[in-house]
Amino acid sequence: MNRISAALVYRAPQQTGPADRSSRRRRRRLRRSLLATACVSLTTLLTAPGAFAFFTPESGGSPNANSINSLYKVTLAIALVIFVFVEVALGYALWKFRARKGAVAAQIHGNTNLEVGWTVGAAVILIVLAVLTFIKLSSIQNPADSSPNGDQLVGQTGTLYASADRKLPPNKKSLEIEVIGRQYIWQYVYPGQDNPDGLGAPYSYEEMVVPTETTVTLDIVSADVVHSWWVPQLGGKMQAVPGYHNYTWFKISKPGIYRGQCAALCGRGHARMIATVKAEPPAEFDQWLEKQKQMIAEANSEAAKARAKLNAEAGSGTATP
């Protein structure tokens, strides 16, 4: 009976023929080809011109955007070093301690030095990143002074004030523009010199025109729902919330056009709510602003004539229904 049971339990070793060995070789070649293709593709992507910018925020338009970009790159570099170290260590462990015939794995219950090492290392990395963030934070939040040409343009404006949320340049001079989010367009209201309450102030829709070399502070609000004003090359996103004021700033050194859009889903027309900032030399900006004021004055004059005509017709009883 024992011999019969042993015969039933015994299984002869599986024989592998030439076809099986050929199939395994093809699978190995396929895996190697796929791995090589992935490595080549990743290397090409990382070494292509401008590839690094694909992984980092846009910058180049304003000092605060440049500070955000540099801080992000430092954090990314540290993260990449950690990632590569962990993956190399993992690959080494998988190869070194792979399953082998007859090998018995060591039963390890802990390594105090290793555990203390990676805990202290993580804490040091966290402290370094925190220190770098606080060093860069002031240049991101606090506006810089305008250049001499910009100072001549904005002058000393008595209506500006500073608070914990609203930062001003050290010399307290800036061009303040009110950004109003509306479904589904951005409105930009410029300072009105003749009307302290802002009525009749020049404004534009969709495209904000600003002077170069000038610190521009933005007072961002919303007329309806929550929006998010974001032009990547000019700094971070800023929420436009009904009944609440948020503040940000930028300073453009060269003429150019910078594009962005609403970054918060605000309704069915959200995708059409684009934002454009056009930077011009101070003299050209001054001409544009005067033209806007002239157009508003002409429109107000025409509206006043139309109202007077309607009132006269109503008084004489000749007004048409």
Q: Which two tokens stand for residue 170?
A: 């050290």
Residue 216 placed within a domain = yes
Residue 77 placed within a domain = no
Listed residue (250, 227, 232, 236) closest to 177, CA to CA: 250
Listed residue (262, 281, 271, 299) closest to 209, CA to CA: 281
Please give the order of strands across the beta sheet that includes 274-280. Answer: 207-211, 274-280, 256-262, 227-230, 238-240
The total of structural domains in the chain comes to 1
Alpha carbon of 229 to those of 54, 129, 232: distances in Å?
21, 27, 10
pLDDT at 23: 74
**For residue range 235-246, what is the model confidence (pLDDT) as tens digits?**
889 999 999 999
Strands 227-230 and 256-262: antiparallel
Chain mean pLDDT for the chain:
81
Give the pLDDT band of residue 252 (cuts 50, 70, 90): very high
pLDDT at 163: 63
pLDDT at 155: 52
Residue 247 placed within a domain = yes
The whole-number average pLDDT for the span 181-189 is 93
pLDDT at 169: 81
179: pLDDT strictly greater than 70: yes
47: pLDDT strictly greater than 70: no
Contact indicator for 98, 105 with CB cutoff of 8 Å: no
Residue 2 placed within a domain = no
**For residue range 146-165, what is the model confidence (pLDDT) as tens digits?**
877 666 566 544 455 656 67
CATH number of domain containing 260 = 2.60.40.420
Contact indicator for 257, 278 with CB cutoff of 8 Å: yes
Give the pLDDT band of residue 183 (cuts 50, 70, 90): very high
103: pLDDT strictly greater than 80: no
Give the pLDDT band of residue 318 (cuts 50, 70, 90): low
Residue 9 placed within a domain = no
Give the pLDDT band of residue 111 (cuts 50, 70, 90): confident
What's the domain range around 247? 148-307
Residue 28 placed within a domain = no
**Residue linked to tokens 């925020």:** 57
Residue 238 placed within a domain = yes
